[in-house]
């Protein structure tokens, strides 16, 4: 099985004048990240957090200059470590 990365939008809302969305990311097969589709036209920022019981030695990070295209926010993770994300923009 090759490296794979999946993300899913769990919810969306509006906070003041900003659209927000949140969801999950799941790298597998040795994957160390990929692109999150936030559902936003323009992403102004994103927060990332690992979940689950396994300890991780490095935090998930984004590899973008904001604002960026909300359909492809690139993140880098520890191999096969799942987590959640929260993004805002327009």
Higher-scoring residue by pLDDT: 53, 41? 41
The token pair at 85 is 């994300």
Strands (E), 16-66: 18-28, 33-36, 42-50, 61-62
pLDDT, one tens digit per residue, over 54-74 is 666 788 999 999 999 999 999
Under the banding of pLDDT at 50, 70 and 90, the label for residue 1 is low
pLDDT (0 to 100) of residue 84: 96
Mean per-residue pLDDT over the chain, rounded:
93
Strands of the sheet with 61-62, listed across from one edge: 33-36, 73-76, 61-62
Catalogue all structural domains in the chain, each as residue range(s) with its CATH number.
4-89 (2.60.40.3940)
């Amino acid at each position: 099985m090759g490296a794979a990365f999946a993300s899913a939008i769990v919810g969306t809302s509006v906070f003041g004048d900003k659209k927000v969305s949140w969801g999950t990311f799941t790298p597998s097969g040795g994957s160390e990240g990929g692109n999150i589709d936030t559902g936003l036209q323009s992403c102004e920022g994103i927060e990332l957090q690992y979940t689950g019981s396994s300890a991780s030695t490095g935090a998930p990070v984004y590899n973008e200059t904001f604002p960026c295209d909300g359909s492809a926010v690139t993140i880098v993770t520890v191999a096969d470590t799942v987590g959640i994300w929260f993004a805002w923009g327009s």
